[in-house]
Structure 1
Amino acid sequence: MLHRTKHIIGASLMGAALALGLSGCEVQGSDEREVIYQPVEAIRVTLAERFEVTRLFTGVVQPAQTADIAFEFGGTVQAVLVNEGDRVEEGDLLARLDTALLEIERRQLLAQLAEAEATLRLTDANLKRQGSLEADGYASRQRRDELEANRDAIEARMQHLQAALDGNLVRQEKAHLLAPFAGVIGERFMEQGSAAAPGVPALTVLETGRLEARVGVPRQLAQDIHRGDEVDLAVAGEAMRGQVLAVGAELKARSHAVNIRIAIESDSILAGTVVELTLRDYIDTPGFVLPDSALTASLRGLWRVYVLAPVEGGLYKVEARDLQLRYSDSRRAYVEGGVRDGELVIASGTHRVVPGQLVRINQDPA
C-alpha cells in the first residue's frame, strides 16, 4: 500500500513539473513573438508640367475613287464582259445593251433624211426655174414665195432629222459601259439577258494604284492637322507613314468627328482593311503619372491613392488622398492634386491596406 502510494505521489510530481515546463515555453514564445507588417510596393511621384497622350483612331482603307456605273438608258443586257476581281484599264468595254432597235431607228432616220434632201434639191430647181419665168414675165411673185417657204420647211426638217440621228448615235454609245479609270471590278449586279433600268448600277469599279485612309477624329485634334502633314498609321499590323490629303469641313452626324483623308502608298493593302491613326495630344496641366493599379474609386467622381508617411523604425503609415483623374489607359494614369512632389504612393495591392495601417516597403523606391 505504501509502495503504491509512493508511485502515485511520484507520478503526480512528475506531471506537475512537466506542466510547469510547458507553461514557461508558451510565455517565453509569446514574449519573443515578432510583429509582421504588411509589405507594399511603392513609387516616388514626380510632378510633371504636362502629359503626352497617344491616341488611336480607327478608320478604313478605301480606293481614291469608287464608281457605281450604270446605263443611262434602259434596255436588255446583251453582254457583261467582266467579273468581280477583274482588272480593267480606262476605256475598257465592260458591258453593253442590245442595240438592234436603235440600229433600225437609225436606218429609218437616214432614209427620211435622204428623202428630205431629195425634196430640197427639187425645190431648189423649181426656184431656179421660177426665177427665169419671173424674168420673162410668165410667173407671179406668190409662187416664188411658196417655193421659198417650202425650202425653209425642208431645211428645218433636215435639221430635226440630223439631231435625231445624233441622239441615236449617243444612245448607241451610251449602250456601252466603259471603265472610267484603271481599277478592279468590285461588284457585278447584272447578267446577260437581264433588263437594265436607267441609273441602276451594273458594276462597281474600284480605282487601283491610289489608296487612302478615311479616319474620324475629334474636332479639337483635327484643328491641328493640315493638308500635307505626315502622320503615323498602322495597316494590317504594318506601320507606315501617310500624307494628309484633306481635312473635312463638317462633323459627322453620328460620331461628331471630322473626317481625315490620308494617302497610302502600298500595293499589298486591300480596300476595306482597318487602319489605325496615331495622334499625339497633350494635357497642359501639372500632375503626376501613376500606374493604373495605384488608383481606387472614391466619391463624387474622384479617385483615391494611398500615400505612405514615414514613421520610426523604417515603417510607414497609410494615408488616403482623393484626386482628379485627367487620363487613364490600361497601364498608366495622369492625376491632378492630392499628392505632393516626391511623396511615396502605393503602386499596387491597394485592396490589402486601410488608412492608418503601418506597413513596410519591399524595396527602396527610386
Structure 2
Amino acid sequence: MQSQHAITRFSFPQLLKMFFYPTVVISLFGCGENQPQANIDTSAYVHTVASEPLQLQHSYRVMRKFSGRVTSKQSASLSFEVSGRIAAIFVDEGESVTKGQILARLDTELLTIEQQQLQAQVLQLKAEEELVDANLTRSDALIENGYASQQTVDELTAQKKVLRANQQQLQANLAAKKYQINHATIFAPFAGTINKRLINLGEVINPQIAAFELQQHSNFELKVGVPQHLIAKIKQQQAFNLEVNQQTITVTSLAVNSALNERSRTVQLRFPLPDGLKAYNNQLAFFSFEQRYQQGGFWIPLTALTDGIRGTWNVYTLAPESNDTYKLLSHSVEIIHSEQNRAFIRGDLAQDQLLLSAGMQRLVPGQLVKTNL
C-alpha cells in the first residue's frame, strides 16, 4: 500500500518552464531600467520648394509651324501619241535620264507599209496628171484646126483639178503617217528620274494610257496651306524659315496663290528650294512663322499649374514670413497660350513675385515652406 504523502514527479520540460523562463524575464527587465530615452524632435517639418521670380512680359510670341509637301516644278506623265504594240523599252523605274533620251518605242512596221502605199498612190496620180496635161496640149492643137470642141478641153481641165486635189489629200495622209512614225517613240522632255514604268513589252497601247512618270532632278518647291488671315503678315517678312530633312533653310522668295482651297479653306504658299537640296517628291516639310501678340502676362512652367475649382487654373506664390519661411498663397489665373513645357498666363500677380515652380501635389495653400533661392 502506497503512502498518502507520495512525492510528485515533474518532467524536464515542466521544470524548464518553472525555473528558466522567470529568470530570463527578470534579467530583461533589469537590463531595460538603465537604458536612456531617445530624444524626439516634435517641431513641425518645413518643406524646401523650388521657386522662381515672375517676370512681367508686355507681349508674347507664338511660333506656328505649318506642314506642306515638297514637289518638283517639272513632273510629267508621259504617253505615246499613237496606238500600237510596244516593241522596245529602254529605261526602268529609278533610272536617271537626260533630255531627249529615248524611253520606249512602238512597232512601226504597219505604219511604214501604209506610208509606202500612200507614196505609190501619189506617184499614180502624178502619172495620170501628166497624161491629162498631154491630152490638153493635143486638144489645144485640134481646136485650132477645128477638129476638137471646147467641151473636151473643159473636161480635161476639170480632171486635172481633181487629180491635184487627190494628190493634196494623199500628201496630207502621208504627213499624218510620217507624224505617227516619228511619234511612235517617247523621248524624255527634260532630265530627271523615272518614278514609274506603267507599260510592258509586247502590250498594245493607246494614247490614253500613261507609259512613264518622269520627275525633274532639281527645281523643288515647298507648297504649304495657311489660314487666309495670316497672308498679309507673312508677306511683310523678308525671309522665311523652312524645315526640310530636319534641316532649317532660309529662303527669300514667296509666291501666293489667288484661290482658296475648297476643302481646307487655306491659301497655298509656294517657296522655291535651293538647288542641290536632297529632297523627294511629296516629302513632308514645314514652314515656321513667328507671330507676336500684344498682351501682358507671365511665362511660367507647366509644373507650376494646378487645377482650380469650376475648371479654373491656380498657381501658388510665396509670401515672406518669419525665420526665412514663406507662406503659400493661391491665385486663380487664365492661360493665354501654352507650349510644350510652359504657358503664358495672366492674373493677380506682380513683377518679381516668387512663384512655386514645381511640387504642387505635395503642398496646400497656407502651408509654411522654405525656398531654394
With the shorter chain as reference, the TM-score category is 0.7 to 0.9
Shift of the alpha carbon at 1:243? 4.1
Distance in 1 between the 2:236 and 2:228 partners?
15
SS in structure 1 of the partner of residue 81 of structure 2 = coil
1:145-183 per-position Cα deviation (integer Å, ceiling 9, x unaligned) = 222222222222111111111111111122111111111
TM-score (norm 1): 0.83
Select 1:296's aligned residue among 303, 306, 311: 306
Q: 2:156 aligns with which of 135, 147, 160?
A: 147
Identity, in percent, stands at: 33
**Native 8 Å contact 2:79 2:207 kept in 1:** yes
**2:178 pairs with one of 166, 169, 172:** 169
Identify the residue that residue 372 of structure 2 maps to in structure 1: 362
Report the Cα offset of residue 79 of structure 1.
0.8
- Report the CA distance between 1:47 and its aligned residue: 1.9
- 1:1-150 to structure 2, matched below 5 A, reads 29=40, 33-150=42-159
TM-score (norm 2): 0.82
C-alpha distance after superposition, 1:82-113 (max 9, x if no partner): 12222211111111111111111111111111
Q: Structure 2 counterpart of 1:304, which letter?
A: N
Q: How does 1:156-305 map to 2 (within 5 A)?
A: 156-226=165-235, 229-267=238-276, 269-272=278-281, 273-298=283-308, 302-305=312-315
CA contact (8 A) 2:331 2:347 kept: no
With 75-84 and 205-214 compared, the bigger mean Cα shift is at 205-214
Q: 1:350 aligns with which of 342, 360, 366?
A: 360
Q: Against the structure 1 CA distance between its residues 128 and 212, is the aligned structure 2 distance closer, same or farther, given a 3 Å change threshold? A: same
* Structure 2, unaligned runs of 5 or more: 1-25
How many residues end up aligned between the 2 structures?
344
- Can you list the C-alpha shifts for 1:313-358, whole angstroms capped at 9, x where unaligned? 4333333333332221212211233433332222112222223333
More moved, 163-172 vs 119-128: 119-128
Match of 2:56, SS state, is: coil
Q: Which moved more, 1:137-146 or 1:177-186?
A: 137-146
Give me the whole-angstrom Cα distance separating, in 1, the residues matched to 2:301 and 2:157. Answer: 100
Inter-partner Cα distance in structure 2 for 1:228 and 1:73: 50
Task: Tell me the secondary structure at the aligned position of residue 87 of structure 2.
Answer: strand
Supply the AA of the counterpart residue of 2:119: L
Evaluate the alpha carbon distance shift between residue 274 and residue 111 of structure 1 in structure 2; reply closer, same or farther with a 3 A threshold.
same
1:272-328 per-residue CA deviation (whole Å, 9 max, x = no partner) reads 443233221212222211112222344666433223333444333333333332221
**How far apart are residue 224 of structure 1 and its match?**
3.0
Is the deviation greater in 140-149 or in 108-117?
140-149
Q: Secondary structure at the match of 2:159?
A: helix
Tell me, in whole angstroms, the C-alpha distance in 2 between the residues paired with 1:124 and 1:267.
69
Q: Does 1:308 align with 2:318?
A: yes
User: 1:325 and 2:317 equivalent?
Assistant: no
The residue type paired with residue 362 of structure 1 is N
Contact 1:123 1:147 in 2 (8 A): yes
Between stretches 152-161 and 94-103, larger displacement belongs to 152-161
Q: Is the partner of 1:225 in helix, strand or coil?
A: helix
After TM superposition, give the deviation of residue 76 of structure 1 in Å. 1.0
